[in-house]
A and B are shown apart, each in its own frame.
Chain A
Amino acid sequence: MRKETKSNIKFFVIGALIFAVFIFPLYWMVVTALKTQTEIFEIPTPIWPRNLYLDAFKEQLSLSGDTLRGFKNSAIIAVGATLISTIFSIPAAYGLARFRFKAKKGLILFFLITQMLPSTLVLTPLYIMFSRIGILNTYLAPILADATLGIPFSIIILRTYFISIPKELDEAANIDGCGHVQSFFRIMLPIAKPGVIVAAVFSFVYAWGDLIYGITFITNPTMRPITSSIYNYVQQYQTLWNSTMAFGIIAIMPVVLIFIFMQKYIVSGLTNGAVKA
């Protein structure tokens, strides 16, 4: 018993140290956003700001700035991509989990491969395609492209979810006179809800974090997603680190909130999506 508590404390200390080192960059981002420019360039720079200087945040949150506009643009793009990705991947995952057909293995492989493709591979052709149909500099261009990041991943996680639901449930539904389509909507979908949430969360995080499609398809500054606007902001104001960090904090807020409230789901999604297929 005694020995147990001792090793428990040892692990706790090691764990806490690792946690501190690991979380330091984020701490530094917050602290820097609260410093004045003079404090940032002081040697040694203070580990904690002398006065909490909120101007960097105020400036970023002012309505005239790029930040809130970028935030809104990203929200539209990420929600759009998440909707498309979820709507397309739920039935596909169900089909690939519950039915046997010839092309099944090939299709699973197809989605696995598309998940590993670099965006640069399709970037130029997509650019040409979108310019032909006239959707460059609209939200639709990054929405359509970002959904391709979410679909394969969502299908892979959702498929493991559908597989884990006992088959007897659909059989019972079939006996009760439900067709496949009906039992999918009435029985499978409600049970798979946690899986659907994981898939949607990941699609959202992918789309929110995208840079390459955003900077390529949208050149109009008022339409840029937030990753692209912070990138351009830094190009312009090289060393204005407190503002940049405040900008960064606002940009990561949705992801941090998702993380806080859905951590359990995310962990399961990450491991299911990558290990099983």
Chain B
Amino acid sequence: MKKGKMKSGSFLGFMFALPAVIYMLVFIGYPMIQNLILSFKNVDVYTFAQPENQQFVGMANYIELFTDINSIMTKSITNTLIFTVGSIFFQFFIGFGLALLFSKKFRGCSFFRGVTMISWLLPVTVAGLLFKFMFASSGGIINQFLMGLHILDAPLDWLLEPKSAMTAIIVANIWIGIPFNMMLLITGLTTIPTEVYESANLDGANKIQTLISITIPMIKPAIMSVLTLGFVYTFKVFDLVWVMTKGGPVNATELVSTYAYRLSFEEFQFSKGAAAANVLFLILLVVGCFYIKLINDEEEAM
């Protein structure tokens, strides 16, 4: 009797989940497989409408991507790494600092903390345009500010110079990503019982000692989550860069995501674009597996 009930219950559980699973298989799973197949074919603007001329070309698209002279693919991977590491480094440290500050109780605390959340919710397109304007060479407030401080002598064409363009998109992305880091770290901090701090205080530990030997080890799971998830989310950023620089100047800010989009929807080399997107997926998969292992360990520990 009991066993039978259990069985029907488990079947029911699966049925509850089934519609969502089917939806995701149709609109994500199936397209992923199609994308893989597409990447081994020769579909471009000429063969797109003529299925009879589409052929399997094996790894040719991948090989071309990486072996072209001045391969943009290699450059875009390097750029994406710079963009991701640069963004996460600052997002994390600023977010951590803010988390420490805002986990204290003081007047206005929850208001200040709440409002800093908003940059994360804004449509990235609008945030990107806002930063494009602030970094503009004429009328841009950032040039004016830096010239006022005599850091710059003349207005800099931020988005038109390779190095400064990368800096600009990283700065914009840091602004967008800080709240995410802050909130997850605050949640981590609230799990530390106050007694731990009290006893550290009694033992005569100073603030920095407490931070390094108590706070950081105790919120290590939250830190690892923030870093790996942040990596995945940053590595696939598209809209921000597309709006601010479109990958320019001369591919200086071309990321794997923008390059894949450009190949498919501006140059209509669909198969090559699919191959580039798969490379992006592969990198994310490795980091994603790391994250999933992390939370599984955590769940088992709990």
Contact = CB atoms under 8 A, between A and B. Distances in A.
Interface of A: 7-8, 11-12, 14-16, 18-19, 22-23, 25-26, 28-29, 32, 40-41, 43-45, 84, 88-89, 91-92, 94-96, 98-104, 107, 109-114, 116-126, 128-129, 144-145, 147-148, 151-152, 155, 180-181, 184, 205, 208-209, 211-212, 216, 227, 230-231, 234, 239, 241, 244-245, 248, 251-252, 255-256, 258-259, 263, 266-267, 270-271, 274-277
B280 A120 contact: yes
Nearest to B131: A25
A107 B23 CA distance: 13
Contacts of A252: 122-123, 126
Interface in B262-298: 264-265, 270, 273-274, 276-278, 280-281, 284, 288, 291-292, 295
B265 A216 contact: yes
Contacts of A11: 101, 104, 106, 109
Interface string B101-127: 110101111001011111111111111
A29 B130 contact: yes
7 contacts: A15-B109, A26-B118, A84-B23, A116-B233, A121-B281, A123-B277, A234-B243
Interface in B236-257: 236, 238-239, 242-243, 257
B115 A209 contact: no
Contacts, number: 279
A259 B133 contact: no
Nearest to B145: A44
Given A11-B109, A110-B21, A275 B187 contact: yes
Interface residues of B, number: 95
Contacts of B299: 277
A39 to B, nearest CB: 9
Given A22-B175, A25-B134, A155-B20, 20 more contacts: A19-B115, A25-B127, A44-B144, A91-B20, A95-B16, A101-B10, A111-B24, A116-B284, A119-B236, A120-B277, A122-B27, A122-B28, A147-B23, A209-B239, A212-B261, A234-B132, A239-B136, A241-B136, A248-B129, A275-B222
A172 B67 CA distance: 66
Nearest to A212: B238
A211 B35 contact: no
A89 B20 contact: yes
A16 B108 contact: yes
